[in-house]
Each structure stands twice: as structure tokens, then as C-alpha cells.
Amino acid sequence: MTFHINKISSIIYNRRSSKTFKENQDIPMEDLLSFFEAARWAPSARNRQPWRYLLFTKQSPEALASMRSCLDEKNQEWANKAPVLILSCAEIADDQGTPNRSALHDLGLANENLLLQIRSLNYNCRPMGGFDKEKAALLFNIPKNIQPFLVIAVGLPIRYSNLPDDIQEMERRPRERNEMQTWVHLDQWGKLDLQN
Ligand SMILES: Cc1cc2nc3c(=O)[nH]c(=O)nc-3n(C[C@H](O)[C@H](O)[C@H](O)COP(=O)(O)O)c2cc1C
């Protein structure tokens, strides 16, 4: 089965993860707040809204440097140029210790809203799982029932960057996905041909 990509919302098909950012260009607070407002409207189990975010900007260079120091070395190569980092966390249990088993799922929904909003305002962004979560929890006094999960680097796009060639090539490469026929099943598991 083929499906025309232009039948899905352009916000969805134009989203991509980028590693290039204008280093010294701040993002206005109004735009930053719009990213979180988009996250706010994500669906969640029993409307528990388990997403939590920590925002790091150049207004607080020490905190931004601390967040950068948690990133894996490979991520720091490019993410240290982003003027904004967002640490995304999930409230995995309530104050009584009752776990929320949908927390990471719902955080993912909120994060996708956030990424789409970032891109819709023409900023570049890239989510990263590669960072030291224990270190971040310690550095930023994150309570035990809140799980740090993803860091999102955000900044204005830059046309020319001095990043290594392989990164620059990656920025231009078409995004790739598995064919739908290999993962959408019809009626029962194993029946993959949507046309029959
Ligand atoms: C949970 C998660 C963790 C990720 N971790 C990293 C990471 O540590 N470093 C990185 O460069 N990209 C990371 N990415 C970005 C993915 O590599 C990227 O989303 C994927 O290649 C698809 O590309 P696209 O977002 O442009 O469609 C992560 C994405 C997600 C959702």
C-alpha cells in the first residue's frame, strides 16, 4: 500500500531532528512558553499530566553549563551550541508512591507536541536520551518520583556551521522510516498486507 505524504499534516512531515543552531541567538520567552503550552494540551491517562520540564537558557549560564555537562560526549559535540536545553521528566509515582504506569507514554505525547510546536515556529531541535540521568537528578534537586528522560536542544537554524562533515551531511539527508506494511497488521497479528 502506498500513501501520499502530503495527506498528513505538513507540521508532522516537516518535523526533523537537527544538530545545528545559531549559538548566540536567544529564544524569546513568549516562544519558549508556547512550546510548553503545546505540551500542556497532550492527552494523558486519567488526565494526570505527568510531564515535568526544566528549562535552561543563556540567562542562567551556570545552570545551562551544568545541564550541558550531563550530556554524553557525542551529544555535547553539537548540543553545546544550542542556546536552550529542555530537560523533560515524568512523574512516575504520586506523593504516596503509587506508580503511574502511563507516565513515560504520556511524557512522549507531550514531548511530540512540544517538538512540533518548536518546528512550527521554525526553530531547530533535537531530542536526546544520551545523558547522565542520575547526575541531572542530583544537580537539579529532582525528587525521587520524577524521572529525567530526555533533553531537547533548541535554537534557531544556521545555514553554515563548522560542525564535522558527517553531521552536516546528516542534516540534509532525507528522513527514513520503515514501510507501513511491515508494522501495521490487519485483523490479526501476522497479516501485514493492508491491500488484501
Ligand atoms: C527517546 C529518544 C532519544 C534520542 N536520543 C538521541 C541522542 O542521544 N542523540 C541524538 O543525536 N539523537 C537522539 N535522538 C534523535 C533520533 O535519533 C531521531 O529522532 C531519529 O533518528 C529520527 O529522526 P527525525 O527525528 O529527524 O525524524 C533521540 C530521539 C528519541 C525519541
Report how far ligand 1's centroid is from the alpha carbon of 51 (Å): 19
52 lines ligand 1 (CB under 6 A): no
Mutate to test the pocket of ligand 1, among 14, 128, 154 (most ligand atoms within 8 A of CB): 128
Separation of CA 149 and ligand 1 centre (Å): 13
Residue 12 host element (H or E) = helix 10-14
For residue 3, tell me if it sits in a domain.
no
**Cα(84)–Cα(80) distance, rounded to whole angstroms?**
9
Domain CATH code at residue 43? 3.40.109.10
Structure confidence by residue, pLDDT tens digits, 158-196 = 877 777 888 888 888 999 999 988 899 998 998 777 765
* Structural domain includes residue 81: yes
80 Cβ closer than 6 Å to some ligand 1 atom: no
Ligand 1 site, residue 130, Cβ cutoff 6 A: yes
Residue 46 included in any domain = yes
In a domain, 126, yes or no: yes
Please tell me the predicted confidence (pLDDT) of residue 1: 53
The answer to whether position 37 is within a domain reads yes
In a domain, 189, yes or no: no
Which domain, by its residues, includes 84?
10-170
What's the CA gap between 65 and 10, in Å, rounded? Answer: 35
pLDDT in tens, 66-116: 999 999 999 999 999 999 999 999 999 998 999 999 999 999 999 999 999
Question: Is 5 within the bounds of a domain?
Answer: no
Look at residue 2 and tell me if it is in a domain. Answer: no
- Mean pLDDT, the chain, whole residue set: 94
Number of domains in the chain: 1
Q: What is the pTM of this model?
A: 0.95
Question: CA–CA separation, 51 vs 88, rounded Å?
Answer: 7
d(CA 25, CA 18): 16
Q: Counting Cβ atoms within 10 Å, is residue 76 exposed (0-12), middle (13-18) or buried (19+)?
A: middle
- Looking at residue 84, its pLDDT comes to 98
pLDDT digits 0-9 by tens, 20-49? 999 989 999 999 999 999 999 999 999 999
